[in-house]
């Protein structure tokens, strides 16, 4: 079972039972260990399919450039893929993302433009800047991760089938935080085809509109803003359109951060706050459904990408989140 180069290291990640929260709820709470992808995050899957689509349809030719707007992880995945396939990479990202992600992108050889945070309907939004950059240059492709459904196709063809196979089809629910919507939509679409009774839950951070949209049909933001990166949304992306979502959960930062440190202390997993949000939501789903069910989510990436923020005592204090931690969690801070 030799994997063929970096591309062969995308997908087939382990499905891991989270023992402590499973015991607490009486359910099997499982998570795809997505940091085991070659580029270290769940976004490697979308990155591969986005670049491969451009190659297959002839818009990206040898020596060309791939451009993307990203909070970091999709860009990191695309940078790895570009190096492996012989392309150049240009990344536009909001200037509020972790320095660790910026450093990773530049080390991987990407050209990085950090731009001010503005809403999607502003022409200077990082996604629109990425599109314009690509439009103005030959043999340059904007992969458009938010609205290019090659993103969710990665999860229809890879992640969904993996979860089905690894649970022997005994899966009752899946739940994911959502940025582009690719993971949730793709996994949900595949599993609903296999078994319409599988429940699909959207987990939304504070300050996003998706919870209110799927619960109440209104594009209204929940209160506050979130320290999670790469999830939450102010609109309905093309990847989310038509997604078979049964319910939505609003997850507060205090709960996501607390779970992030619980996963480190109790399970041994060093992950970021988006993973903490996913597992918090999975626990809520387990309590909604009752004991005896199998629920799947994902461990999105590695905590090292957030070391100078999420694991910093002073940073947590400035965000009012130090109180989210139990006394025993303080030994993990610097």
Catalytic residue, from 43, 88, 192, 218: name it. Answer: 43
Helix 253-262 crosses helix 273-289 at what angle (to 10 degrees)?
100
Residues 152/176, Cβ–Cβ less than 8 Å: no
DSSP codes of every residue in 262-325: HIIIII-----HHHHHHHHHHHHHHHHH-TT-EEEEEE-B-GGGGTTTTT-HHHHHHTT-GGGS
Residues 81/107, Cβ–Cβ less than 8 Å: no
User: What are the start-end ranges of the H helices in 64-157?
Assistant: 73-85, 99-107, 126-135, 150-154
Question: Sheet of 88-94: strands edge to edge?
Answer: 111-115, 88-94, 65-69, 140-142
Active site residue 43: yes
C-alpha separations of 247 from 1, 122, 126, 220, 229 in Å: 39, 30, 30, 16, 22
Residue indicated by tokens 């609205």: 147
Give the Cα separation of 236 and 45 in Å (integer): 21
As beta bridge partners, residue 203 has 177, 249
Give the Cα separation of 176 and 298 in Å (integer): 7
Residue indicated by tokens 């690719």: 182
> Could you tell me how many residues make up the chain?
334
Which residue, among 202, 177, 65, has the nearest Cα to 130 in the 3D structure? 65
- By annotation, the residues acting in catalysis are 43
């Amino acid at each position: 079972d030799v994997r063929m180069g970096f591309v062969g290291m995308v997908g087939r990640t382990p499905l891991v039972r989270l023992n402590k929260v499973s015991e607490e709820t009486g359910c099997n709470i499982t998570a795809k260990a997505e940091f085991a992808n070659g580029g270290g995050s769940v976004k490697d899957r979308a990155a591969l399919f986005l670049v491969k689509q451009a190659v297959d349809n002839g818009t990206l030719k040898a020596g060309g450039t791939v451009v993307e707007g990203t909070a970091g992880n999709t860009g990191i995945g695309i940078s790895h893929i570009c190096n492996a396939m012989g392309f150049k990479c240009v990344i536009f990202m909001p200037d509020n993302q972790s320095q660790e992600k910026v450093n990773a992108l530049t080390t991987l050889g990407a050209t990085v433009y950090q731009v001010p945070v503005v809403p999607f309907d502003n022409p200077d939004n990082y996604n629109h800047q990425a599109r314009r950059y690509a439009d103005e240059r030959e043999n340059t492709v904007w992969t458009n991760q938010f609205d290019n459904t090659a993103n969710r196709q990665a999860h229809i063809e890879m992640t969904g089938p993996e979860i089905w196979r690894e649970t022997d089809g005994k899966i009752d629910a899946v739940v994911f935080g959502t940025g582009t919507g690719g993971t949730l939509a793709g996994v949900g679409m595949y599993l609903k085809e296999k078994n319409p009774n599988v429940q699909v839950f959207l987990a939304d951070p504070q300050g996003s509109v998706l919870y209110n949209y799927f619960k109440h049909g209104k594009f209204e933001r929940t209160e506050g803003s979130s320290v999670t990166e790469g999830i939450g949304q102010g609109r309905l992306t093309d990847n989310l359109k038509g997604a078979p979502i049964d319910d939505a959960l609003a997850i507060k930062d205090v709960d996501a951060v607390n779970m992030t440190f619980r996963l480190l202390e109790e399970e041994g997993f060093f992950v970021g706050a988006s993973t903490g949000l996913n597992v918090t939501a999975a626990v809520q789903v387990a309590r909604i459904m009752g004991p005896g069910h199998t629920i799947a989510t994902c461990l999105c990436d590695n905590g090292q990408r957030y070391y100078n923020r999420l694991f910093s005592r002073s940073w947590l204090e400035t965000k009012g989140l130090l109180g989210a931690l139990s006394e025993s969690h303080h030994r993990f801070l610097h």
